[in-house]
Amino acid sequence: MKGLARVWRTLIRGCVRLVFAFVVLSLLIVALFRYVSPPSSAFMLAAQWDMWWHQNIDRQIEYEWVAAEQISPQAYRAVLAAEDQRFFDHHGFDWQEIRSAMRERTQGGRLRGASTISQQTAKNLFLWRGRSWLRKGLEVWFTGLIELCWPKERILEVYLNLAQFGPQTYGVQAAARTYFRKDARALTRDEAALLAAVLPNPTRLKVTAPSPYVARRARAIERQMSHISFR
């Protein structure tokens, strides 16, 4: 019995140390990325690995980081209008939107997401695709850290640089060059709205030859942009 108790104590101490190390390491990484541009993201690394695994060696990730001032204000307004209009009013989680989504689900509606830009930034940067309680718990943890350590403007900057806008196309600079042959700073109102329109599913929704749904969504986003204040 004493030997078993020692084993349990050792296991518990080991778990406590692992949790402590994870907390410290994740806090340091999030604090670092407040000032340092992420060279990649978990989503991009997963996509690159998938291409290597399937031996698509002729394909590559399109990604180029640009500073906040090198991004058109229209791009900021577009993603705020499309993804998170209460971004500056919440602390990482839009409880009003979460309650609305849950109410729709209980009334027989489809299950829809209620993720904020902060949550999407945490997922894109640190986590993997899919659904699980572990992933959701880590998403909550990293979202809280991001909101604690970064100003809102930094969250938007990182989000726009990491968001996927099409197959192998990550970040607003790569998207602007791929689809419009210009830099992100030169994006117009309608171009920014079209990019934001594909964000819910950038592997299915297309910027080039947009479907009627994407075109309608882009027009709705453009109308909403008039009510968004940013720079």
pTM value surpassing 0.75: yes
pLDDT tens, 132-184?
A: 889 999 999 999 999 999 999 999 999 999 999 998 899 999 999 999 999 99
Specify the CATH number for 33-225; select among 2.60.40.650, 1.20.140.10, 1.10.3810.10, 3.40.50.150: 1.10.3810.10
d(CA 65, CA 121): 15
Domain boundaries, the chain: 1-32, 33-225
pLDDT tens, 209-228?
A: 899 999 999 999 999 998 88
d(CA 220, CA 36): 35
- Which of 74, 78, 85, 68 shows the shortest CA–CA distance to 34? 68
d(CA 66, CA 171): 9
Burial environment of residue 200 by CB neighbours within 10 A (0 to 12, 13 to 18, 19 or more): middle
51 confidence band (pLDDT: 50, 70, 90)? confident
d(CA 122, CA 73): 22
